[in-house]
Structure 1
């Protein structure tokens, strides 16, 4: 798996920074904590918890980051974070319009098998699998697409819904990444998919449902999945997982997993800016699936 790392110069948003794609290595330490701003909205009861629920996957360094820095490392910790995260709010259907103004009119909201927030935290595999209703809706959507698109944008509330709802976070990213992907020649599906209680592997199921075709070995079909990171800093960061595979691979059970995915992490208006992350998404995809 590759890793997008950012070495910030000057430490503040808008400063010059070097970004490079480098191989992942287990045990790479988090960047040292930099100055923190006060938590938004009066603070977050879940912040500081290490909350991957023991699930494996492309992990991120927990704890503070330098402002303007982004790093992804392999692996991830465990621990029972449910008590600290029990009160964290999932992305409510009724707030989709406020989370994604201008982009939510045609959004399709789907659920995973996680029953509620505590179930999502305590049983990570349930957040990795789509509900039966979601699979039916995706089958209908696949028929509507009729093979016209090769890239789907997906958003999950993840472990930090605030990262997706803060002003200046998701909307600038979606606008910039759509423009950049279109300029690069990718046929991006116009409909945004929103996963409630979603984890990374739920995005793989979306790709299989929309793009899987056992008779098609040509080209690449892509899922770009933005998801709220585990709590731990005041930045309300989110990450983007980019996965590209041939339709035959998407159709093969278990073939699409973390080794095919690249991660951009530490994205917020006070860290790696959404606009810069969008440009890097296009760059990473050009390496995964050269045109």
Structure 2
């Protein structure tokens, strides 16, 4: 479905990642910043280039590849929301931390994971929203008033970098919205950004947003999650779930056996635009099919983010 780029690009990314795994102590040996990078300069205030004191930790000195985070969860909550505006509007990823800009229409949620360590060591903690987030989703349902039948959800997953790399999340979401609109889905304007979220957290969102006993009209949820790192592609996956509202209403009725998966989405693997077209095609079939998506074989729980 995607077209692999020239091998040289993949090697450069891998080489950059290897270089950036060197101990951070080496950075402290650099001489004091001079000129525009000195204290009081534009970079020192956080608006400078990637190699200045104000540079965002996720980007390597001199620009280019991103550093594998020592604390993988340091920016996990802001990463997805920062990605789109930072690439499209030029406001930069720092705008999210200041409360302005970021992913347009982003609604912040979080799971019951206390922190990144809890998320990694206790997977069930990332499968349920915390109480405040549940209330937020219920309020969003009331505000929607049944106008929308499709919802986009983004979770940091096991590799937030996959959502922050240039050319990943932004083109996927833009193309997906256009394709879903063209196939008759009414996509909610908000994007739900879940910190420390796993696949089943998306099912809970769907139940809270769409569940309605006796309503047999389909409701779609697209859950974008960073994949397990290690492939060198910084890839993310899209989990597609589209049962009717009556099924969404039943606790536990929606699980991995009702979900389709597009994996390996990256600018060096399955191109985001191609993945979006395929996702819309699959959801278009679900919208018109009289047979529900039930595979009979659930996705392997051991490999889900």
1:167 maps to what in 2? 166
Q: For residues 149-160 of structure 1, what are the structure 2 equivalents within 5 Å?
A: 149-160=148-159
**Greater Cα offset, 126-135 or 99-108:** 99-108
Contact 2:128/2:201 (8 A) holds in 1: yes
- 1:93 Cα deviation (Å)? 4.7
| 2:73 is aligned with 1:89 | yes
1:113 maps to what in 2? 112
User: Aligned-residue CA RMSD in angstroms?
Assistant: 2.5
SS of residue matched to 2:113: coil
Structure (1/2) with the larger helix percentage? 2
Inter-partner Cα distance in structure 1 for 2:184 and 2:78? 34
2:145 maps to what in 1? 146
After superposition, give the CA deviation of every residue in 1:60-109 in whole Å (9 maximum; x if it has no partner).
Answer: xxxxxxxxxxxxxxxxxxxxxxxx99731354555565322056132001
| 2:238 is aligned with 1:236 | no
| 2:264 is aligned with 1:266 | yes
Q: For residues 4-15 of structure 1, what are the structure 2 equivalents within 5 Å?
A: 12-13=4-5
Inter-partner Cα distance in structure 1 for 2:226 and 2:80? 15
**Counterparts in 2 of 1:204 and 1:91: CA distance versus 1, 3 Å:** farther
Structure with the larger RCO, 1 or 2 (CA within 8 Å, 6+ apart): 1
Structure (1/2) with the larger strand percentage? 1
After TM superposition, what 4+ stretches of structure 1 lie above 6 angstroms from structure 2? none
- 1:215 Cα deviation (Å)? 3.1
2:83 maps to what in 1? 99
Q: Please report the TM-score for the alignment, with normalisation by the length of structure 1.
A: 0.71
| 2:136 is aligned with 1:137 | yes
- 1:261 Cα deviation (Å)? 0.2
- 1:234 Cα deviation (Å)? 1.3
Q: Which runs of 5+ in 1 are unaligned?
A: 1-5, 15-34, 46-83
- 1:12 Cα deviation (Å)? 2.5
- 1:279 Cα deviation (Å)? 0.4
Aligned residues: 225
Q: Please report the TM-score for the alignment, with normalisation by the length of structure 2.
A: 0.68
1:246 maps to what in 2? 244
SS of residue matched to 2:206: helix
Q: For residues 207-226 of structure 1, what are the structure 2 equivalents within 5 Å?
A: 207-216=206-215, 218-226=216-224
